Amino acid sequence: MNNNINEVIEHISHRVQNILKDPPSPVLSVSAAVAATWAIWRLTLTRRKANTPPIVPYNIPFIGNGLDLSKDPRKFIDKCKKRYGPIFQITTFGKTMVVVTGPYIQECFRLGDKYLDFNEGVEDFLPLQRILNISYDKQKRQEVKHENENKSPIVKAVRNNFKSHQLKIFEDRMQYAVDRGLELDIHFEPGAKSTTLEIDAVQHMVGRISALLFAGREVGESEELITAMATYAQSIFKAAIAYTSLPANLADFVTKNYLDISDQIDITMKHITPVLTKVKEQEEKEGQMDPDFFMHMMLHMPNADGSQPTPEEAGFWLQDISFASIHTTSLFTTWALHLLSDRPDIQELIRQETEAAKKKHGVLTPAVVKDMPIIDSIFRETLRLNSDYIGINHKAMQDTVLSNGIIIPKGKSVGMAVDDVHNDPTIQHVGENNIPLTEMDPRRFVSRKTKKSTSVGLDLLSFGLGYHACPGRYLASQEICYLLAKILEDYDISPDTKDGKRAPNRVAMGFLQLTPAKGVVLTKRS
């Protein structure tokens, strides 16, 4: 094969020289060889095994389809579907993946991790375990590899304790934390009626809730702990950028020396370990107690190898629950604020629903938002409209044949076209008002009792699907809806833009949706 390529390069190089009247310079000879190499690369680019996903061609190595994808992700994916079919392969900024669209997404989830592994897919794009291993060597997680992630202690603990009907024990702390966040994390200049709320402040507000619910009352109001939990995800993503931009070994060096996450872990361990030690000692004397905070629940969860966790081992999971809960909750709270920012009519609709709920129940509490279908419908719209263009990545653990005969080769990264399916009228409910799926309809799901914000399916993939569906979605939904209702009681929300329209989302790597670069303006209500 190499000899054939060399012969072709030499042949094309000579042909280029013969076309020219003057003898070529050495530079021209090299240029001809480079041109020939490029031609061979273009020829081999589209070569693929039978029945494997069609490769979307591109011109620039590494960047691949990234620029076209970044310009208009929805248009690019729709164009690829029409030209190459529902399953195709793209390359974007050094990452190659198979993109799955439409009903085939559901088929991929049903195959299970034996064929398409979710955890391995996430690790390919966001190497959490590698970053942790590089950054922190004082302790390792007590875990073994599972075929089913539901056997993971943290997933079992969340699944067993955070269903909708189990959230009552957290209600008073959530109320208190939200009130504290509104008081301490929204800052006004003296005499000012308006201020800008950035995502950092939202993360801190959500961090207050998480610290009380997950770490407990004894340490949950520590500003040091709240800050460490709230900023942990940011540190992880900064390190992850190194792995998307640099060779792995160099990224390891940069992470260890410049993007270290050990400080946040040290702080969380410093606060939670003594609390769990005290609980364990008390239970050894008096018997097992009913936990009222998450890390106490983790103390009762056997490690993946069946052993009972020490306070240090149980406490080490606090970073994971912080990453999973604070990051996503902050993102979707921020997106909801932006969606509402240029829609004062919808803000007023939420206030009317809030007042009706207060008249019925006497006071607005986190539990009361379950009786507020409009705000739940708005949150479902927030999830639907702000999901990644391609996400929920899996990794093919073996050659995988789909029902249309396409074979996904072993080792391939597989991404789901989430935004595309969320805006597909053949899959997605348009609603009685016939408002386009690309726009927010606050009442789109109000009359559909089975389409709560926590109801997962092909038409809402933000929380995953099947046994990979996020077990903490009931808490996240209650938390976000309650926080939005409380903010709207006190403030009008408007965009921080010149044209008065909501700030646009940013896009990373061509397919990941990020919150807008600007915050939203909060103005005190008279």
**Each residue of 453-466: pLDDT tens digit?**
999 999 999 999 98
CA 193, chain centre distance (Å)? 34
Q: Domain segments of the chain: what residues?
A: 1-45, 116-524
pLDDT higher at 206 or 132: 206
In sequence order, the 6+-apart residues with CB closer than 8 A to the CB of 217 are 173, 293
* CB 274 within 8 Å of CB 295: no
Tell whether 470 is in a known binding site. yes
CA distances to 173, 318, 477, 487 from 169, rounded to whole Å, are 8, 19, 16, 23
Return the CATH number of the domain spanning residue range 116-524: 1.10.630.10
Q: Answer whether 314's CB lies under 8 Å from 216's CB.
A: no
Amino acid 366: pLDDT:
97
Q: How far apart are CA 415 and CA 71, in angstroms?
A: 19
Q: Which run of H or of E encompasses 88?
A: strand 87-92
Backbone angles phi, psi at 90, to 5 degrees: -125, 165
Distance, in Å, from the CA atom of 343 to the CA atom of 406, rounded to the nearest integer, reads 44
Q: What percent of the chain has pLDDT over 90?
A: 72
- Closest by Cα among 334, 342, 337, 331 to 502: 342
Query: Side-chain half-sphere of 218: how many Cα atoms within 13 Å?
Result: 16
pLDDT for the residue 523:
98
The rounded mean pLDDT for the chain is 89
**CB contact set of 422 (below 8 Å; sequence gap of 6+):** 384, 385, 387, 428, 437, 459, 460, 461
* Rounded distance between C-alpha atoms, residue 453 and residue 433, angstroms: 19
pLDDT band, residue 315 (cuts 50/70/90)? very high
Q: Any idea what the Cα angle at residue 423 is, between residues 87 and 448, rounded to 5°? A: 125
Please state the pTM of the whole predicted model.
0.88
Q: Note the pLDDT of residue 159.
A: 92
Per-residue pLDDT, 17: 42
pLDDT band at 94 (very low <50, low <70, confident <90, very high): confident
